[in-house]
Amino acid sequence: MIKIGIVGGTGYTGVELLRILAQHPQAELTTITSRKEAGMPVSDMFPNLRGRVKLAFEDPATAPLTQCDVVFFATPNGIAMTQARDLLEAGVRVIDLAADFRITDVPTWEKWYGMPHACPELVSDAVYGLPEINREKIKGARLIANPGCYPTAVQLGFLPLIEAGVVDRAHLIADAKSGVSGAGRKAEVHALLAEAADNFKAYGVAGHRHLPEIRQGLARAAGREVGLTFVPHLTPMIRGIEATLYARLTKEVDLQALFEQRYRDEAFVDVMAPGALPETRSVRASNVCRIAVHRPQGGDTVVVLSVIDNLVKGASGQAVQNMNILFGLPETLGLDQVPVLP
């Protein structure tokens, strides 16, 4: 059994980790921290876990995290980087669901996240945890930077085109939409029911924190810098991300075959039939990314539709997928939940 600690167990990604790991046959939840809620039974805050998780929240200052095999950080940006060093020195593996180790250029990270990096020397040691491109590196990692939600949907949609070199990599467009849970479990006006319901709006048009992460990933796949316009939107739903991606074709290619070939061995990427229109509800509560590729009117523009659950494949599910790889377990273990409908 893998002894697991979770730092920051009271947010949406924290409760998703708990939901998934409570059903994982090789996971032993040993400690879950929350400074504010220390002493409270987890199931009192999250009644869906009654009978599944019998632990209480512990103060992170006294929690026995160094006795774990792996610690997940389901915390805001800036927390994992202050604690990762001590855990790694104790032989604990770390999976950070925030952005502290995703961007390899530290000055770029500091610019977009507005704070100095607490342990820049660890950034080069971190492995970017998108299994579909970094599976082999993940196997030997000590520190995993779990990808962001938008970056997961966008990169998986663009990767076959970028790797094959069949599109203009200088003019990529990602038009993405997210449910309100992507903003986290905190009180903010824009996420109130009366503000978010019956509404649809763009945000971060001038620049979003996930932009440099997406550019970095696509540049690695391309072997050179890429040009990307990324515009996120807030939609009146709880879960889900839909990314509509545009690129100009530079070579003739069978797009359907290209995508099917690229993802034929990937358990959590579903390339749909020609003409399909993937829906966010088709992946709700699952670790699946569904993709469809289109070429409208047979022109030179390719349109890729990519959907994920932002809390699962976009966060906690992918983190558990990384854990499975890290400990030599079947990648799908504990992650075979059927999506929830309606």
Active site residues: 149
Question: Angle 255-262/149-164 helices, nearest 10 degrees?
Answer: 120
| Nearest in space to 120 (alpha carbons), one of 163, 82, 94 | 82
d(C-alpha 339, C-alpha 342), whole Å = 9
Residue 167 dihedral angles phi and psi, to the nearest 5°: -130, 160
Pairing of strands 269-271, 228-234: unpaired
Q: Report CA 237 to chain centroid distance, whole Å.
A: 18
